[in-house]
Structure 1
Amino acid sequence: MKVGYLGPQRSFTYQAAGTSFATEDLVAYPSIPTCLKDLEAGFLDFGVVPLENSLEGSVHATIDSLFHRPGLQVVREIILPIKQQLLTAKERPLSEIRRVLSHPQALAQSQAFLEEYLPQAQLEAVASTTHAAQYVQTHPEEAVAAIASKDAAGHYGLTIAQQDIQDNAGNQTRFWVVARPDRMKQSFEPAVKQTLLLTLPSNQPGALYQVLQAFGWRKIDLSKIESRPLKTSLGEYFFVVDLVCDKDPLLIANAITEIQLLGATVQNLGAYPITLVAEKPREETGL
């Protein structure tokens, strides 16, 4: 069985994929669209992609790619605690670090630490946290640090100069396990959430209210609603709606039917269970 994920190896998506596919063949992809494209084409059995970070919000590439690939379904959500580490090739005072490399989201998630302890350092965005760790490993003579995971530190033999530098101790990222319908197997775990992608019939007053009313009067809890541009013309959107699956599934099915009768297009990504990955005990370290 082949499972694609947003790489490279040792990335946070790699860690998320390993929680559900510890013994499977994991294939790294350079981007979310290329991973989902190969999944749709049948070269993969499953794909694991990031969806949303609790500090930096949605990963738009995932939502937009799924919107344009209506044959794919979400089979599981994985919630992974994200702990960012400051990594160096060798021990050195923070005042000597001149550059800090990481993925743009990791840099943003660690902004308060960087402003307080590394105001002199130039921040450089790279393709992934793992790429940042690789660079520091291969350039030990440079006064450069990476922001990446403990897993990356161990794999590349780097020093953890400071642990858990993210701005919020509760930093988490949602990942989706995605599959084609013909590869989906019956799950005996109860569905916790369901996601719909909605396109309104026309840009007219009250259209969104009418759609949301179909959930409201049935007391179906919405845990998230977000708009994304259709990329057709300015002011045209589709909507991402997360439903809490604590009601009779027939109520949700009836709500979807009512929305379709109103003229809206509904892309049902499916109902799925959630895996919450336990946080590892913190290892104390000093600045």
Structure 2
Amino acid sequence: MPAPAITRRTPARVTAPLQLPGFTPAPAAPVVTTGWGVPEPAARHRIAEDYRTRGYAVVHVPGTTPAEADLAALADALNLGTAFSPPQYRGSAHTRGAVSRLTATADPAHPFQDRAGQNLHCDATLQHLGQVATTVMICVHPGRSGGHTQLFNAVQAFAELQAADPEAAAQLTHERALLRTSTFVDGLSTAGPAFGRDPSGDLITRYSLTATDSYHPTAPGRQEHLDRALAALADAADEGSRHRATFTLAAGQALVLANDKLCHGRTPFTDDPAAPRLLLRGLFTTRPTI
């Protein structure tokens, strides 16, 4: 989905505190384990450390065809607790036991039904800033082609925007900055900051660029400041940016993502009719702890 139509201006690179010091454009090497319960202490510690320093970890259990129970086992190994089901998904056919099935389908009521690309977003943006800290996605079957995961280090890009242009950055932190409207439940929307801080003072985000997201300035005369902020973040998320990583999840691999720090997207894909692309997704209000 296209980003908002804005005039881009590349800001001067500035010094800002590192939010995720391990994040690089080079994808993280997968943490290989013998089971979804991650029985090896060293593997569990590396997953938690990659999440803390990079904002994500990739877990690989070779030779497996994952199921919903495997997502629960991985969550238990990382002390994530019970998966959170957004209210608008409860009772939906695409979510079973708080695990969503991300696959192409002819069902128009299914929110993940097509093979088109997805622009950068945070999951559960209808929830309040910081409520859903972690997303776990396990690949059962990849697409025949495409379907590449794109990650954007949004909190680092925003920290640099605050240092370079605080007036613009302020347009993304007020209580009406980002309005998300549901495509699944008519009349449901949530307004709130696109960026803020958690109780420990760390930067967090719900920055998203889908067709149902709209951004609003603190006052009508501040629109140009908002435009500068959105342009700076769009530049920071461009292909080739040091704030962006791209890779493809293989069958039997999981992405454990800091959903309130990194945004994620996906390129379009084609399917193998015999084994259509399928990911299992769980949302969690906690972070991995070991």
* TM-score normalized by the length of structure 1: 0.26
* TM-score normalized by the length of structure 2: 0.26
Q: Which entry has the higher C-alpha Rg, 1 or 2?
A: 1
Identify, as 1 or 2, the structure richer in helix.
1
Identify, as 1 or 2, the structure richer in strand.
1
